[in-house]
Chain A
Amino acid sequence: MANSLFEEKLHSNEFLVTTEVGPPKGVDVSEMIHHIDILKDRVDAINVTDHQSSVMRFPSLGGCLLVKEHGGEPILQMTCRDRNRLALQADLLLAYSRGIVNVLCLTGDSIDVGDHKEAKPVFDSDSIQLLKMIRTLESGKDVGGNDLKGTPKFCVGASVHPEADLIEPQLIKFEKKVTAGAQFFQTQGIFDVASLRRFMQYASQFDVKILAGIIVLASARMARYMNDNVPGIIVPQAIIDELAAVEKGKGLQKGIEIAARLIRTIKEENLSHGVHIMAVGNERVVPDILEAAEVEVARH
């Protein structure tokens, strides 16, 4: 039996669509709620980011509760950067008790890229150990080996980086994540369909769902910034040139077009089981991208 609507979708053969919202820095959640409202019926699930890029924000778990309250299907992004094993397990218990069972397990960006550079990096566990931690909780025990009162059940995912410049170690890690229990993967931003194709030729041997990460670029400047500053992102020169060629103010329109083109290709050529759209601040255009890509999801 599926633990969530999203897990049920994972078992289907439908083309999966997820996206994400970033909580605000502060307590005014109105914009995030607006994004949740316009996205919840257009996608299968909405990730809520966890201090993305190590920038302190309203918490992921709080954002997931809002997604739930507003009728959406949340995916809790959980990083190991800020919490030790006690805090991670406690947050997982709270999440389960409030009906949040989809969890994306991430190691977390380095403290050095964020806005609290003097903070203590925790990393008591890594993404794979977090996956195992969740499977341990599901066995009725905590990671200290003690019995739990009431046993949670989750649907767990992880990330993978098909465009890494040295792919082999990433593939080793991917396999370890599969073994540790990951059911779905949302990839880092993909820009090159060929690398996704190569990755899927390898990954299709495993019984997991792969959602190709789609980053919505809004300008050539943003693309260059991401190349220089965002861990793991590699925007090819051809895409930067394409964005640079449009007149001022039309960058986002071009970004929508590029994202939609990628999604259409991925869907038509059956290159992955779905897509995960990361709009990085432009969440409002996700419905436009889906329309342009001619992708519709059936929410139950």
Chain B
Amino acid sequence: MIVAEQKPLQEIRRMISPYERVLILGCGTCMTVCDAGGEREVSFLHNALRVAQSRSGNEAHRFLEYTLKRQCEPEFLEMLVDKVGDVDAILSLGCGIGVQAIAERFPDTPVLPGVNTSFIGMAREQGVWDERCAACGDCRLEDTAGICPITRCTKGILNGPCAGTKNGKCEANKDMDCAWVLIYKRLERLGQLEKMRRYYPMRNFRAVPRPKRIVRTPVAVGEDNG
């Protein structure tokens, strides 16, 4: 899933300052799961903004709150049609895709990002998320025992560890595992170290040119995999 962090309150207050009526818009999918912009966070942020506003003695804003199931899909965005007319701006707690989908659908309404979209990852434990995929368009997890060196190695290198690894940790961050130590150990366990001995040429950074687009011809279920 996509993982994000809510922007600092001060930055959000600066962004909304020109607008009187602000819709705080949550997203019911990834942003809910990563505790950055679901229904609960919308409500918390609404309260925080109201408190900050009353403390400053400047009651400039009126807030509405709403959470869509998904901000990134056109059919869900249609539910906003009745609401956008009543607001001066939308403060989206969706990921960067949600913010842009809203901007495309509602060309006359300013949309502001309430979160910093950080990475594609997974929950490690309560309150901890780790990045796991760089969406590079050229997956090589087969060769690396299911551990992504592009994401988890700070240098994203393909031919084994650099010399900076110490105690199994990365030179860039002593709390971060060296991806190549993990890959080595797992390949060894699987009896597949020959995969590490292979030479991997420079990556094609244009595997799918940016901005990327995938076009798939519709097929009947089951037709494409025999």
List A97-112 residues whose CB lies under 8 Å from chain B: 107-112
List B164-187 residues whose CB lies under 8 Å from chain A: 164-168, 170-173, 180-181, 184
In the bound complex, residues from chain A placing their C-beta under 8 Å from that of B160 are 128, 169-170, 172-173, 176
In the bound complex, residues from chain A placing their C-beta under 8 Å from that of B192 are none
In the bound complex, residues from chain B placing their C-beta under 8 Å from that of A161 are 163
Which stretch, B46-54, B104-112, B149-157, touches the partner chain A? B149-157
Q: Which of B172, B201, B203, B205 interacts with A110 by CB under 8 Å?
A: B172
Contact status B155-A107, CB under 8 Å: yes
Chain B contact-residue range equals 20 to 34
CB 8 Å contact bits of A104-128 with B (1 = contact, 0 = none): 0001111111000000010111111
Per the bound structure, the CA–CA distance linking A210 and B34 in Å amounts to: 50
Per the bound structure, the CA–CA distance linking A121 and B167 in Å amounts to: 23
Q: Shortest distance in angstroms between B92's beta carbon and chain A's nearest beta carbon?
A: 26
Contact status A126-B166, CB under 8 Å: no
Contact status A113-B163, CB under 8 Å: no
Per the bound structure, the CA–CA distance linking A169 and B183 in Å amounts to: 10
A281 at the interface (CB under 8 A from B): no
Contact status A132-B201, CB under 8 Å: yes
Q: Shortest distance in angstroms between A95's beta carbon and chain B's nearest beta carbon?
A: 20
Q: Shortest distance in angstroms between A181's beta carbon and chain B's nearest beta carbon?
A: 11
List B123-162 residues whose CB lies under 8 Å from chain A: 154-162
In the bound complex, residues from chain B placing their C-beta under 8 Å from that of A176 are 159-160, 197, 199
Residue of A nearest to B156 (CB): A123
Q: Given A107-B155, A126-B157, A180-B199, does the pair A165, B163 have CB atoms closer than 8 Å?
A: no
Most chain B C-beta atoms within 10 Å of own C-beta, residue among A81, A160, A161, A169: A169
Q: Which of A107, A113, A127, A165 interacts with B172 by CB under 8 Å?
A: A113
Q: In terms of DSSP, what is the predominant structure of the interface of chain B?
A: loop
Q: Given A121-B154, A132-B201, A179-B199, does the pair A173, B161 have CB atoms closer than 8 Å?
A: yes
Most chain A C-beta atoms within 10 Å of own C-beta, residue among B159, B167, B173, B205: B159
Per the bound structure, the CA–CA distance linking A170 and B166 in Å amounts to: 12
A268 at the interface (CB under 8 A from B): no
Per the bound structure, the CA–CA distance linking A132 and B159 in Å amounts to: 12
Q: Shortest distance in angstroms between B82's beta carbon and chain A's nearest beta carbon?
A: 43
Q: Which of B156, B196, B199 interacts with A169 by CB under 8 Å?
A: B196
In the bound complex, residues from chain B placing their C-beta under 8 Å from that of A123 are 155-157
Q: Which of A81, A124, A172 interacts with B205 by CB under 8 Å?
A: A124
Contact status B199-A110, CB under 8 Å: no
Q: Shortest distance in angstroms between B33's beta carbon and chain A's nearest beta carbon?
A: 29
Contact status A129-B164, CB under 8 Å: no
Residue of A nearest to B181 (CB): A166
Contact status A112-B161, CB under 8 Å: no
Per the bound structure, the CA–CA distance linking A133 and B202 in Å amounts to: 9
In the bound complex, residues from chain A placing their C-beta under 8 Å from that of B163 are 159-161, 164, 170, 188, 231-232
In the bound complex, residues from chain B placing their C-beta under 8 Å from that of A159 are 163
Per the bound structure, the CA–CA distance linking A164 and B166 in Å amounts to: 7
Q: Which residues of B contact A (CB under 8 A)?
A: 154-168, 170-173, 180-181, 184, 188, 193, 196-197, 199, 201-203, 205
Q: Which 5 residue pairs of A and B lie closest in terms of their CB atoms, listed nearest first?
A: A231-B164, A231-B171, A173-B160, A112-B172, A161-B163
| Extra pairs beyond A107-B157, A132-B199, A232-B171 (13, CB < 8 Å) | A107-B162, A109-B164, A110-B170, A111-B172, A113-B172, A123-B155, A126-B162, A127-B162, A128-B159, A128-B199, A164-B163, A165-B166, A168-B188
Could you list some 17 contacts between A and B, CB below 8 A? A107-B157, A109-B171, A110-B155, A112-B171, A121-B155, A124-B205, A126-B158, A126-B159, A127-B162, A128-B159, A161-B163, A165-B167, A166-B181, A173-B159, A173-B160, A175-B197, A232-B164
